[in-house]
Chain A
Amino acid sequence: MFALLVYLFLIIPLIIITGAAFGTDEYLRFPPQGFSLKWLANIFEVEMFVRTFKISLEIAVLGTVLALLVGIPAAYGLSRYDFVGKNFLQGFFLSPVLVPGIVFGFSLLNFLIIKYEMPVYTSLLIGHTVIIMPYIIRVISSSLENFDYSIEEAAISLGASKVKTFFVIVLPNITSGVIAAFILAFINSFNNVPVSIFLTGPGISTLPIQMMSYVEYYFDPTIAALSVVLMVMTIILMFIIEKTLGLSYFAK
């Protein structure tokens, strides 16, 4: 009973926001009056939303791909080998998740943009790549752990080199882990605020940042409509995670 109430607390706000997205009123009200899709349509009228959506998508995809390229070998090394300083390096690779985002974002602004005059877009991409890395390493490592090492040894004993074994035997068997890692990383990048907020510049901003500045000035249901779009996206991605990694992964 208590649990149900707590869950109502978790769910109701999201339902309310969904309801509010389809009202006809000029300002946010609940229950909404009437039903219309005009706020949904209005998202596309606000040019900044469309543009930042594209940037967010780009950064999330590029950042995730970069982090995968760097993170998969690292995860492989960390979970398959024994070496000096292993524990320390394991901690180091997971450390971005411990650093407060706001501190990291500010430091990047300071260091990359101001000190070394890096372009804003590049800095934004780098920042996202770094914060994504722990998710990649963690998910890939856990799928490697579920993949018996003796299978790799079998391939090697049959004459395949280590590199070939990785591509022909290991990779095909951890694809669901890679997909899950990709999605988890993608979501975290796409939703990120505290790092992105420092790494915006002329014409460069991300969707969550744009949404935040929008609600400071306007209080119409456009944001609610946009929220619904994002929630639908989350549901789709969650569905994929469930199919690949299993949502119980989060209870660890």
Chain B
Amino acid sequence: MKKNVYVYLLLLPGLIILLLFLAAPLFSTVFRTFQGNEGLTLAKYIAFFKDSYNRGVYIRTLKLALLTTLIAVILGFPTSYYISRLSRRARGLYIIFAVFPLLTSPVVRSFSWMVILGKNGILNSILLKLNLIEEPLRLLYNEFSIVIGLVYLFLPLMIMSLVGVMENIDEDLIEAAESLGATRREVFIRVIFPLSIPGLIVGSVLVFTGSITAYTTPQLLGGSNTTVLATLIYQNAMSLFDWDTASVVATIMILTTVFVTFLINKLSSRLNA
């Protein structure tokens, strides 16, 4: 490590770009939401939350994100544990199959669920064939399909975060616990779970904030009465040309993600203390 003032020259081009094209636009968006006729005001926020439709959207967004995170944890945790105990080669194979969806276009991934859940989709045709239902179920364009889409979108992220931490849990540790008389269940609860918490936290933050801010999936898999924050921004900006409200929603979205990240991190440091 060297000390040197010239280092700022190396950073300068990037800094300029980020200041001009990231910080400035974001600031301008946030700033306009507090601007009133005379000075700064919270009027736009009050107006926003007075509207029950907007409140509904906000609550729905949080609810769907929470549900997604929960399901991702439930599906991801045992899976990741299983992967983390595999041999290097097998683990590599599983990682490939988790990374592949991650790198595939979200449009493609959401679209695949349109094919599955659609009125003439696979699920309905199978159920019809089995005579389990009389007529096609309405599986698409509702909260159910959004959650499925989001879980599908973010599960690999959860798995990768967990595997990253779990594969560093030493096998000896588990054997040591077993030799001390712990059952498999106890080992899981007393040893593996506590040691996996950092990965769980990272994964949960990623999935939760990702779900709050996701646009493609709710846009494709949701319907007109399942608007979430991201689609609300888009509607206000591009259909209603209501820039102020769009800015308010955008700011709320930022604040919410920051707050949630902060909260989860706080919670985890308290757990560790």
CB distance B115 to A28 under 8 Å? yes
CB distance B14 to A70 under 8 Å? yes
In the complex, chain A residues whose CB is within 8 Å of the CB of B234: 102, 106, 197-198
Most chain B CB within 10 A, of A3, A99, A230, A238, is at A3
In the complex, chain A residues whose CB is within 8 Å of the CB of B220: 212, 215
From the candidates B79, B103, B113, name the one contacting A6 in the complex (CB within 8 A): B79
CA distance A133 to B18 in the complex (A): 9
In the complex, chain A residues whose CB is within 8 Å of the CB of B116: 13, 16, 30
Q: Assuming A101-B215, A108-B21, is B11 touching A89 (CB within 8 A)?
A: yes
Q: Does B243 contact A (CB under 8 A)?
A: yes
User: Chain A, 1-37, contact with B by CB distance < 8 Å: what is the 0/1 string?
Assistant: 0110011011101101100100000011110000000
**Secondary structure of the B side of the interface?**
helix
**Residues of A within 8 Å of B, CB-based: how many?**
81
In the complex, chain A residues whose CB is within 8 Å of the CB of B105: 190-191, 208, 211, 227, 230, 234
CA distance A224 to B108 in the complex (A): 8
In the complex, chain B residues whose CB is within 8 Å of the CB of A106: 29, 233-234, 237, 246-247, 250
CA distance A95 to B23 in the complex (A): 10
CB distance A208 to B107 under 8 Å? yes
Closest CB of chain B to A99's CB: distance in Å?
A: 7
**Chain B 1-50 residues near chain A, CB threshold 8 A:** 1-5, 7-8, 10-11, 13-15, 17-18, 21-22, 24-26, 28-29
CB distance B156 to A10 under 8 Å? yes
Segment of B160-168, B179-187, B264-272 in the binding face: B160-168
Most chain A CB within 10 A, of B97, B209, B215, is at B215
In the complex, chain B residues whose CB is within 8 Å of the CB of A235: 100
Q: Does A119 contact B (CB under 8 A)?
A: no
Segment of A38-46, A73-81, A170-178 in the binding face: A73-81
CB distance B2 to A130 under 8 Å? no
Extra 14 A-B pairs, beta carbons < 8 Å, given A215-B114, A215-B220, A238-B99: A17-B111, A73-B13, A77-B11, A89-B15, A100-B213, A100-B230, A115-B28, A126-B21, A127-B21, A193-B215, A198-B237, A247-B99, A250-B102, A251-B163
The 6 A-B residue pairs with the shortest CB-CB distance, nearest first, are A77-B10, A100-B213, A111-B25, A13-B112, A107-B25, A251-B164
Query: What residues make up the interface of B, taking CB atoms closer than 8 Å to A?
Result: 1-5, 7-8, 10-11, 13-15, 17-18, 21-22, 24-26, 28-29, 75-76, 78-79, 82-83, 92, 94-109, 111-116, 118, 120-122, 125, 152, 155-156, 160-161, 163-164, 167, 209, 212-213, 215-216, 219-220, 230, 233-234, 237-238, 243, 246-247, 250, 253-254, 257
Query: What residues make up the interface of A, taking CB atoms closer than 8 Å to B?
Result: 2-3, 6-7, 9-11, 13-14, 16-17, 20, 27-30, 69-71, 73-74, 76-78, 80-83, 89, 92-93, 95-96, 98-104, 106-112, 115, 126-127, 129-130, 133, 137, 187, 190-191, 193-194, 197-198, 208, 211-212, 215, 219, 223-224, 227, 230-231, 234-235, 237-238, 242, 247-248, 250-252
26 cross-chain CB contacts under 8 A: A7-B94, A29-B120, A70-B14, A77-B7, A81-B3, A82-B2, A89-B15, A100-B254, A100-B257, A102-B253, A103-B26, A103-B29, A106-B250, A110-B243, A115-B28, A126-B17, A130-B21, A130-B22, A193-B106, A198-B234, A208-B106, A223-B111, A227-B105, A227-B108, A234-B103, A250-B99
